[in-house]
Structure 1
Amino acid sequence: MLDVYDYDNDIWLCHSKRECNGRSAFEPAIYTLREIEAFLLMNPSEIVTLILEDHISSQDGLTKLFDKSGLRKYWFPVQDMPRNGEDWPIVSNMIRNNRRLLVFTSNRSKESSEGVAYQWNYMVENQYGDVGMNHEACNNRSESPFLYNRTRSLVLVNYFRTVALPWTASTEHSHGLMDVLKICHIAAGNRWANFLAVDFYKRSEGGGVFQDTDMLNGRLICGCNDVYACRVRSLSNPSFTF
């Protein structure tokens, strides 16, 4: 998840327009995208998804950025993305066809003008910040379609505080995250999250983000409680594929 802005005759990563200045702008986006390109090159079985909060108004800005980064060769074309809740290709097919980079933009116009998928045509998302950490209710983000809208095939769950608090993350990841994933599973029409956004992902008091991600992958891949159970199943049943 990256916030991109026009700044200093280039495209930069910033958290807000106010922060896109000489003191607090993070770096030109091309540097991060080249790191991603290097990662995909060195890890031919990995898939990366970029969700862009897109504030770029320069002509064909995203197109030029991704062409310059070398990421086009991994691009999953928007015309082949499922539009009405249909299934995505299985991971092995995406790897075989080298369509290992999915890119979504928050700017509706970019889908038709630059061929970058408009996020809300494909996914639903819960509210970010303190509201999104409520384990008794899962509310959709205002820009998102309703969580139960099954014409959007991807589900993103946010779980991080409005103001980042590193000293509470260990407890929250180990004792609250699973509850939010379960309540959002129900709110999304019994669909598990495809994406999970957190702060301080390494912090936990045991299990935490890694354990919950293993659970999500297990549920999504084979309906099991853990992704490792899917591996056991694939070994015992050669016809089962990821």
Structure 2
Amino acid sequence: MTSTEAAFVIAKRVFHEELTQTEGARQLNEEFRLNINSAKIMITVYGKMMKGLEFKRALSVPDMSYYLARIMSENDSKYLPNAVEALWKHIAYYEKRNGVTLRSLRNLHSSYLAIVNGITSFNELSESFDEAVKNAMNLTEGQRKKRISQKSVIPKTKPVVVYVYERNPYVVAEVLARAKGVCERCEASAPFKRKKDGSPYLEVHHKIRLADGGEDTVTNAIALCPNCHRDLHFGEHNKALQADG
């Protein structure tokens, strides 16, 4: 374990009040020969990042990059927006105080800000699509088919760090309505009901992937139980459906 890795682990324990800052700094000094003041800075910066607060004493760019990567991976992105905000506050403070431009830290900040914005955009897009499907399920079959005919069969894309297809919620709703809660591949009932609305849980799969030029249409889609859906993507018989279609 490097001194940076150890500092992160100990700073995390201090943040959760399992150690005092003094105890953590002493441990880093004794086990990794870190200067006491440097150890305290590394502990303090972690706490500020988790809370989104300005910190005045900086870490090196590699250390800051390591902290951001660990915060993102260990907390499922929950604290990443705080950490990115804290980094920007530090950059603004330091540049104003010293009349310099911290290009490396700015680049690091830009990279993680893009990740934060992408996570936010993707979550918002996913929630919006789920709501659109729910609304589409409340329409009649005729109304859905009319909406389907008004939509392009080639879906648009939206940038969310990576590109995702903006699928037609009326197609999803029509396929789910057609399935009536039964997997259209194995013919078993949906394995459970959705927590938010009690509807049978099935997943809509495109026979020809949108990424391969497949159309976002009812005829190119099928409602599957999660097991069949994973099998088609990752199983040995992942081409069976296309052969049957």
Same fold (TM over 0.5): no
Q: Which has the higher helix share?
A: 2
Q: Which has the higher strand share?
A: 1
For normalisation by structure 2, the TM-score amounts to 0.22
For normalisation by structure 1, the TM-score amounts to 0.22
Relative contact order, CA 8 A, sep 6+: which one is greater?
Answer: 1
Bigger CA radius of gyration? 2
